Amino acid sequence: MSDDSAAGSPPADATRGDPGPGAARDEAAGDARARRNVMVLVAAQAILGAQMPMNFVMGGLAGQYLAPNPCLATLPISLIVLGSMVSAPFLSEFMQRHGRRAGFHLGTIGGGLGAAITALALWVHSFPLMLAGSFLVGLYMSAQGFYRFAATDTASPAFRPKAISWVMAGGLIGAILGPQLVKSTHDLLAPVPFAGAYLVVIGLNALGFVIFPLLDIPRPPRPAPGSPRGRSRAELLRTPRILVAMICGMVSYSLMNLVMTSTPLAVVGCGFETADAANVVSAHVLAMFVPSFFTGHLIARFGVERVIAAGLVILAGAGIAGLSGVHLEQFFLGTVLLGVGWNFGYIGATAMLTAAHSPEERARVQGMNDFAVFGMVTLASLASGLLMNCSGGSPVAGWNAVNYAMLPFLTLAGGALIWFALHARRA
């Protein structure tokens, strides 16, 4: 494939001008390669992506098993997200120089090595070793976050929202597969809990070396002396569309992580079984990805700002459902709404971002965005464990505190969207 060849990217702004029917036909024909790449990325999202719900189901419970203090139970999940935040700018620049395929292979190495270290940590009962393994898993999480951007590299402006949406939809299979793998393998190496499931995660990462060679994404050309380098990071942050897209992406993802980090602990803490927690997480992850089959069409029809706004409203509904009680059906309802709200908010923010930068700014914008997003998610996951385990001394009190904590973030993102709409109207 041509991952190592030099070629430019198509124009980045999917919102400028009307190409007309002739140009639209040319774009559709030119999207044949983009569609093939999307199918490869869908497979990666479906198979390799199964490890992320596995890590989120097991992270808090395995952390609770090893942590010297219950308030530190979700720290392994926080370290995964921290690792993703730290590696995002590096991975973005690495892919700019060496291509998407090389970056995705590097991510699978991090995911497999991190799972191996975590399995060893459970075997020798070492919480610090588990934290080290979790941090390495963050390299895979960061790489997976770039699947959605890679889908747009060879796509026409009109096809980009659908390409992003389809790749995110690939997580549907991972949503089903991951929790089921946890249920069937968490006692595989009993009496050491979850160690067997982490061995399965190693196998999932190994499959990346079969999938990613099928990608056909050109490596960006090295800039010639005197060629345009695009805007600086400070200039990019002063662009209203980029700033608002980043804020909405940060809030959508961090709220999803805030609630889902504590959900398995809340379900088990309220008297239900580990299998119930896995089923709740499975329903949530299904809700994250099933809407992806039509989110791109909704963006094309109603506009990205309206879809993001709808996502924020649905996230608010998830918080209300979480505060309504701790019966199993209320856990299901709240986490399903959480998944749908994340989908609209996060895919919408990604589409908004990719329409606001030029090809030479790609690595700068995408690395900066994912650094900010996963930085916010790191804080949310840390706060989740503290709120859940150190707020009032009961699982119900902790769960209520987690859901109340959504309010200021939703206010921030909603205010940013309103400001952007007023700014666009004045402009």
Over residues 246-288, the pLDDT tens digits come to 999 999 999 998 998 889 889 988 888 878 887 888 788 789 8
Number of domain units in the chain: 1
- Mean pLDDT of all residues in 13-17: 40
18 within a domain of the structure (yes/no): no
Helix (H) or strand (E) holding 146: none
Q: Please say if the pLDDT value at position 85 is more than 90.
A: no
Closest CA to 151 of 311, 57, 36: 36
pLDDT at residue 341, as a whole number: 97
Q: Please say if the pLDDT value at position 12 is more than 70.
A: no
Alpha-carbon span 255 to 348, nearest angstrom: 15
Give the CATH number for residue 323.
1.20.1250.20
- Give 377's pLDDT tier (boundaries 50, 70, 90): confident
Higher pLDDT, 8 or 136: 136
Q: Residue 99 region, left (φ>0) first, then alpha (ψ -120 to 50), else beta?
A: left
Is residue 105 a contact partner of residue 213, using CB atoms and an 8 Å limit? no
10 within a domain of the structure (yes/no): no
Name the token pair of 203: 């196998």
**Sign of the CA dihedral with 339 first, then 239, 150, and 90 last:** negative
11 within a domain of the structure (yes/no): no
Distance of alpha carbon 52 from the chain centroid: 9
Radius of gyration of the chain (CA): 21
Alpha-carbon span 247 to 419, nearest angstrom: 12
22 within a domain of the structure (yes/no): no
Name the token pair of 415: 């205010």
Domain extent, residue 316, equals 31-218+233-426
Q: Which residues pair with residue 6 across a beta bridge?
A: 219
Distance of alpha carbon 191 from the chain centroid: 32
Q: Please say if the pLDDT value at position 414 is more than 90.
A: yes
226 within a domain of the structure (yes/no): no
pTM: 0.74
Is residue 205 a contact partner of residue 48, using CB atoms and an 8 Å limit? yes
Position of tokens 């895919």? 347
Higher pLDDT, 175 or 185: 185
304 within a domain of the structure (yes/no): yes
389 within a domain of the structure (yes/no): yes
337 within a domain of the structure (yes/no): yes
- Mean pLDDT (the chain) is 86
Name the token pair of 17: 């001008």
Q: Please say if the pLDDT value at position 21 is more than 60.
A: no
